[in-house]
A and B are shown apart, each in its own frame.
Chain A
Amino acid sequence: MIKNKEELPFPSQTDLYALVQAIDSKLLTELLSKQGVYLLCNKSDKAEFLRRFAFGQQWYAEAFHASDRTARGIAISITGARAEASSLSEVETAGRTMLDKIAVPANKYQPKITKIYYGDPPEKDSKDPQSIIFQIEYRVLKPAYTLMYSTETHIINVAVVRLDDSVIEFRHNPHNSTDALVARDVIQATLLQMKKSQISIDITTLPLESRIDLIDTILTQKSGWVIRGVTEFTVKKDQDDYSQETEGEGDDQPVSARKLPDKDTKLLSRAVLQGENLREHELVKKFLEEGYYFSAVEFFAVKQNEVGMEGIVRVEISFKHTPRLLEVSVGRTRVEIGSNGFEDIATSDSIAQKVGDFYWSEVYRLFQKIKTKIAKTSKKVTRASSQSSVGITPGSRSASDAEEDEVTEQTGETSVLALPNAPLATANTATEPSVVVVDPSSAAKPTTDGSTAAAGPGS
């Protein structure tokens, strides 16, 4: 009766197995409960039970969309941290001190560094290794039954490399958010042991406008990998109080994060491809007014003359909230077939690594560039503020100027970024001790004689 089982519009056995592996169990349970179905079985048996049903297309669309990794075929994810340190020996010493001890007592997964080995041996005439790998073990306790508990042991690797004379980088390829959370905590514990602080790449430490600028700059890069269309924007509402939100396995994005509808994504993608400044786009202006910023973006990228490159590669850059870190993921490659069709194929490991490395480093570079620019602005504004306080009269500026994204100092010579409405974070600025953090709200307070001080944005 069935001509060819491949032609059935329902998912195949392989699809369902992949779905069950990839999708969050709770999500699958929720989707099934909408149908009044409850699969009370082990994960390994769920696919077999699922094969019996022929749900509507809508159901499968929801399920497969929910399991991002199934749909997109993530080839590699990169996360990690950077810190100022002159040699890897310091890292090794710190790691050896923590060896076989619970590295982060507060972490419920009780991670331990179980092995330390050299990725690349020290160069000739040098005692310092070129890279070190920490093998980390952590445990997940699962209440499988009412009275019995099962423990799963997971092993992950975190590599540490020296980027230059003063900066080292911890790098990890997580398979899920728990891996990422554990890696982040162990990295932080190691840095604490070394008495070093992390070079922060927390997007929430940037002003709202600069967060948009960061994504805009990444998307409009003209060298190296070039964007060929944006497929997804995730926006998140700015929140001041993060302390109440918990971290752990499960959702990677907080509740306030949402993906833009296709219509809006297409509009913004067109704007990006046409080289428009995203911050000038009406839609983005509206987001900014409402306190939203881009927390993740997914796009297709290509590099001309790249050996082994067949089509365009799907990349996702995500400033995750839980755990709070940057993650760059490389998905499938899209290849054109015929005149109008296309096919998604697995991305080769080498290409995935190259494109992942590129965007990981670029985000770091651009992030630091923006922070430095803000720091300079902050210094200048502070200087201007102190000058005004000793009697230098600021040039007259209209109130509407305060809302402009870029402001010109009273001399009119230098164009600098505006100070944000959101304050610069103070906790993550340890690596930039020279930065003077100015709270614009306090800086713009009226002076005792009723006039406005010159330090605020656009003042």
Chain B
Amino acid sequence: MTAENSADAASHVATFAKLVQTFGWSQRGRLDTNVSCQKCAKRANGDLNVHGLDGFFVIDCPYTQRARGIVVDGKRYTLKSMAAVTDNLSKMVNSVVETGVHLHDSPDVLEKDLFTDRSTAIDTAIVAWYCPDYDAAKVQEWVRECSPSKPRQKNMIAFVWENTILDRLKSLETFRATCEELEFFYFMVPELSKFSPILAPEMLISSIQPFRYTKIGSGESRHGIFYFDVENPPYIRFLLKFIQSCFAQTTAIDIFAHCSPAQLTKLTAELHDQIGVRTPGSSRRGPQIELKALSKTIYEA
């Protein structure tokens, strides 16, 4: 018995690809395919060895200002399947990392089969694990215990995106659909800070995602922050400090908290405790802050 149904897995990869393409990820080659490897030893019949590749994407990296290659492995395993497979999560990550490293060392394949410039830095590997019977505690335990190995002579950054992150991605995509424009603000490297429509993988993991957007039909560009650290309400002060340092010159800012309505009420109370309610014409300095809900959309493959 296979751990996952191949049709379901293909559907998951296709859904994932559709979502990330909304945020400037350019798909190269076909999904769920095999690519030759110049690095691996040739087969007995003289053919080049191959790697299975669920998805390969290239983005214009906001951090390095260079083309960045991202290798994705889509998994659609139930908890039971994940427990049963001999390849645990670490091996899955190792495998996708190895594919990335070997692709990097196969410039001809990269150009010919994946239509990608050989100078592209392939430094990112993602295991996108959609778990149909998701149990946060169990899945996160697997993720926590995952310990992939460092590849030889190559730096890579690997991610395991389970349902929480996939839901976040889906929610952002739903929000994106309501906007004419959406650009993320990359502030963590202050000397390179800039707005970019590209959603870097690191940004999706971050607790705070500042951005500017224009709603369809409004024509007005506004600033906003996607806020994911909602489980820790006392840290709203942290968020306010961030707004003070990043958006002090802005007249208004919308915080979109990724949470349930009950949590939003609690957060609103926290926010009002911290800053008070600003009324039009009030002399207090700083932007007018409005707390809204980023509607939670569940990722389904």
Interface residues of A (CB under 8 A from B): 1-5, 7-10, 13, 29-30, 33-42, 45, 49, 51-59, 145-146, 148
Contacts and interface: CB of A to CB of B under 8 A. Distances in A.
B162 A4 contact: no
A320 to B, nearest CB: 27
Contact of B242 (A8, A36, A38, A42): A8
Contacts of A13: 189
A29 B156 contact: no
Nearest to A39: B157
A51 B235 CA distance: 20
B188 interface: yes
Chain A contact residues: over half helix, strand or loop, or mixed?
loop
Interface stretch (B29-37, B198-206, B268-276): B198-206
Contact of B146 (A4, A38, A146): A38
Contacts of B251: none
A4 B241 CA distance: 12
A54 B152 contact: no
A266 to B, nearest CB: 20
A40 B149 contact: yes
A2 B187 contact: yes
Contact of A54 (B206, B232, B241): B206
Interface in B170-211: 185, 187-190, 193, 200, 202, 205-209
Interface string B156-167: 111111100100
Contacts of B41: none
Interface in B98-131: none
Contacts of A55: 205-207
B187 A38 contact: no
Contacts of B146: 33, 38
B232 A146 contact: no
22 contacts: A3-B246, A5-B190, A7-B245, A8-B190, A8-B245, A9-B245, A33-B143, A34-B144, A36-B143, A36-B160, A37-B159, A40-B148, A42-B155, A45-B155, A49-B155, A51-B63, A52-B188, A53-B205, A53-B206, A55-B206, A56-B232, A57-B207
B151 interface: yes
B219 to A, nearest CB: 22
B85 interface: no
B249 interface: yes
Contacts, number: 120
Interface of B: 63, 93, 97, 140, 143-153, 155-162, 165, 185, 187-190, 193, 200, 202, 205-209, 228-229, 232, 235, 238, 241-242, 244-249
A38 B200 contact: no
B147 A29 contact: yes
A49 B188 contact: no
B189 A51 contact: yes
A40 B124 CA distance: 10
Contacts of B149: 40
Contacts of B187: 1-2, 8, 54
A399 B105 CA distance: 80
A398 to B, nearest CB: 53
Contact of B189 (A34, A36, A52): A52
Nearest to A30: B144
Nearest to B148: A38
Contacts of B156: 40-41
Contacts of A40: 97, 148-151, 155-158
B249 A3 contact: yes
A35 to B, nearest CB: 6
Given A53-B206, A58-B232, A146 B152 contact: yes
A2 B223 CA distance: 14
B143 to A, nearest CB: 5
Nearest to B229: A56
Given A3-B248, A10-B188, A54-B188, A38 B157 contact: yes
A38 B235 contact: no
Interface centre among A2, A33, A36, A54 (most CB of B within 10 A): A36
Find the residue from B152, B190, B208, B238 having the highest chain A CB count within 10 A. B190
B158 A57 contact: no
A56 B233 CA distance: 11
A28 to B, nearest CB: 12
Contact of A2 (B152, B206, B246): B246
Contacts of A145: 152-153
Contacts of A42: 155
Q: Residue among A4, A54, A145 with the most chain B CB within 10 A?
A: A54
A145 B249 CA distance: 50
Nearest to A31: B144
A5 B229 CA distance: 22
Given A37-B205, A55-B206, A1 B150 contact: no
Contact of B145 (A4, A33, A45): A33
B246 A8 contact: yes
Nearest to B162: A36
B158 A53 contact: no
A7 B152 CA distance: 39
Nearest to B61: A52
A56 B235 contact: yes
Contacts of A146: 152
